[in-house]
Amino acid sequence: MAFSTTLSTSYILQSNLFCAQKSNQLSLRKSILPPQIGNKIVYQPLKHNKVFSPNRCVGKINASLKWEKGYKNVEVFSKEHLAVSLAYDVAQLSNKFTKERGAFTVALSGGSLIKYLRKLVESPYAETIDWSNWHVFWVDERVVPKDHLESNYKLASDGFLSKVPIPPLNVYSIDDALSPEGAADVYETNLRRLVTRNVIATSTNGLPKFDLMLLGMGPDGHVASLFPGHPLLNENNKWVAFLNDSPKQPLERITFTFPVINSSSNVAMVVTGAGKSSAIYAALEDEKKTDLLPVEKVSPEGELKWYLDKGAASKLFKE
């Protein structure tokens, strides 16, 4: 499955439905939009199970006539339909890589991302995905015990992993008995071992190439545990780094670095909430800044797809 959906130039106007996705090759300008658009809503139907499914994209947003920059692989949903679309796309990728490689490597973030995987544990996906071939990693982790409320492992285990039959040996959590530096070193050693065994694919520059990396974003534009202004933004040698000075609690964390993030075959950027709309606008629209937000450094070898709810996208589509 391609990780993007082709945008046609044909639009159907609906009063309360919206989905936006554009390619860089197509600049949607005022002259080619229907004259009725005004404050109405543009709806682009997406293929779902080989038929058009208007229920994948919903949410009332005022459509903007300013399309000059262009958005690549951006979709806007209600929160419920975001979870449905994400489940569909993840399931398709799982089937694709399982057939091609006999393994599907997925790297998870923490935060609200996990709750948007909830549809994967329901029918039809739970019964059709070959969970035995999943290998699960963490993009970043807080160096706390696994049963700690701040643990990304606990969050993923409670909300997702405990509900699907992924073999325990295929779930690669950090060693919470180690110091941040020790945990990062051991995690990188494990990645290198799995790359050697071809469980994780290898990118053109010899880095681990995850089949799918699921990322969230903070209101400040941080991804993983890579924060604005932090020296780790420029780390190019380590695959896994540690920090003990996180601007958010808990202070001690480990994180994939940008070379690893950007070696991925697919990156899904899942961002919801109006509190993140300014960072989304800066990442996708604002060209006047001199300092890049961490999220703007996400530029994978493969495909990047944005899953936004109408709150997160509100400043993009405001006239």
Residues 135, 172: contact at Cβ < 8 Å?
yes
Q: What percent of the chain has pLDDT over 90?
A: 70
Q: Which of 222, 261, 270, 223 is CA-nearest to residue 240? A: 261
Q: Is residue 64 scored above 80 in pLDDT?
A: no
In a domain, 6, yes or no: no
Find all residues with CB under 8 Å of 73, minimum gap 6, and list them: 3, 4, 21, 303, 304, 305, 306
Is 36 within a domain? yes
Express as a percent the part of the chain with pLDDT over 70: 75
pLDDT digits (tens, 9 = 90+) for 282-300: 998 877 666 789 999 999 9
Pick the residue with more confidence: 318 or 215? 215
Q: Which residues pair with 171 in a beta bridge?
A: 136
Tokens, residue 16: 């309360």
The domain of 110 spans 11-318
| CATH number for the domain that contains residue 195 | 3.40.50.1360
Minimum mean pLDDT among 15-29, 115-129, 208-222, 269-283: which range?
15-29
Judge whether 33 lies within some domain: yes
pLDDT in tens, 167-204: 999 999 999 999 999 999 999 999 999 999 999 999 99
> Number of folded domains in the chain?
1
Q: 1 lies in a domain?
A: no
In-domain check, residue 2: no
Going from the C-alpha of 60 to that of each of 79, 164, 273, the distances in angstroms are 12, 34, 15
**Is residue 48 a part of any domain in this protein?**
yes
Per residue in 69-124, pLDDT tens?
456 689 999 988 999 999 999 999 999 999 999 999 999 999 899 999 999 999 99
DSSP state, residue 97: H
61 lies in some domain: yes
Name the pairing type of β-strands 104-108 and 212-215.
parallel
Look at residues 110, 96, 119 and name the one whose alpha carbon lies nearest to residue 150.
110
State how far the Cα of 112 lies from the Cα of 155, in Å rounded to an integer: 9
Measure the CA angle with vertex 286, ends 283 and 290; round to 5°: 90
In-domain check, residue 150:
yes
d(CA 310, CA 16): 12
- Look up the pTM and report it: 0.81
Q: Which helix (H) or strand (E) holds 183?
A: helix 180-196
